[in-house]
Amino acid sequence: MTVSALTRPGQRDRISVKLGEIDWRLAGLLAFIAGIGAMMLYSIAGGSWKPWAEAHLIRFALLFGIMIILSLVDLRVWYSLAYPAYALALLLLVAVMLVGDVRLGARRWLGHGSLSLQPSELMKIALVMALGRFYHNLTAKQARWSWKLLIPVAMIGAPVLLVAKQPDLGTAILLALTGGIMMFMGGLTWKVIWPVVIGVCVAVPPAVMFVLKPFQRDRIMTFLHPDKDPSGTGYHIIQSEIAAGSGGFLGKGYLLGTQSQLNFLPEKQTDFIFATVAEEFGFIGCFVVLAAYGAIVFTALRIASTSHSHFGRMAAAGMTATFAFYVLINGAMVIGLAPVVGVPMPLLSYGGTVMVTVMIGFGLVQAVRVHRYFELPRGRGFLF
């Protein structure tokens, strides 16, 4: 499809033309990761499609269709809904603090049972959209350094504090990292970045000692000294390291992972599924999976770079950053290079909330790809 056909009135809005502009390589890579996830869920269930693998595939198939539908949505609609979506997500986070459902000592959900909603997942998408819209209307000079940058700082800080209060340290870190990287991509000067980085490094030790809750502080200390309590707080990471290390170069073989099959590996279907990949397929299997993740990130960043609108570039890059941080944090956590913070491996791990976030996020990335030649005016949106 040529540029002229995409930009010609009457052609660019045809569904067939838009479907042709979807990056099907990216869609295929997402399906590949989800397929690997189903394979591993089948394995850790002892060679059974239930209770995880079947549900994982059905959920992905439904969300894949939703991603395709979202990719056809005009970029002006995404732009116009950015601030309302952020405001709604923020209100829901406040509602969680007031009337949220408490599970396992954490208040993170609204509703009960199967109808529950985790607003922090909505915020991951809404924050990226809102920051993208904000930076769309800034000049390059204002994005480097101006008083207006206090606005995105507040936009990032408010949900980070609310999520950390739930407490959900992993998601709070993810939101902070995504927001920070978007400010960097927006053009923030290094004269500001370095003092902030140094300040964060200085603030971490006292924050660990006096701000974090006892169980969060225990996770940090366990990360530093996992052998001090091998049957207690250090059990998760020690078993994960055993599973990852025992796979060697080629792995033990599919369906032959003892750590997962014999239930030594905790949370084997969610947080530590990558350790099962390492155990059964070894270094080669891990390399293939990480290469697929890398290809997804590279492809999505290329899509961001081709957008003619600054909102499109920022939104696509921001969603890609969120996805990449999922992979980096979980991968580091599984092999003992980061504390256990409950961040799953996207599309590989079992779980609906993260998959919903990831697939809606890639719906936005694909929408940027489909509408990459559209230019958005500065100022008010299409609907609001």
What is the DSSP track for 74-89? -HHHHHHHHHHHHHHH
Low-confidence stretches of the chain (pLDDT < 70) are 1-13, 104-105, 112-115, 229, 379-384
Segments forming the whole domain that contains residue 213:
3-370
pLDDT at 37: 96
Paired strand residues for 107: 102
pLDDT at 100: 76
Tens-place pLDDT, residues 317-333: 999 999 999 999 999 98
pLDDT at 129: 97
Judge whether 381 lies within some domain: no
Judge whether 379 lies within some domain: no
Judge whether 149 lies within some domain: yes
Burial group, residue 183, by CB count within 10 angstroms (0-12, 13-18, 19+): buried
Query: What total number of domains does the chain contain?
Result: 1
pLDDT at 114: 63
Tens-place pLDDT, residues 322-370: 999 999 999 998 888 888 887 899 999 998 788 999 999 999 999 999 9
pLDDT at 212: 74
pLDDT at 32: 97
Judging by DSSP bridges, how do beta strands 101-103 and 106-109 pair with one another? antiparallel
Judge whether 378 lies within some domain: no
pLDDT at 12: 55
Say if residues 268 and 276 touch (Cβ distance below 8 Å): yes
pLDDT at 224: 73
Judge whether 377 lies within some domain: no
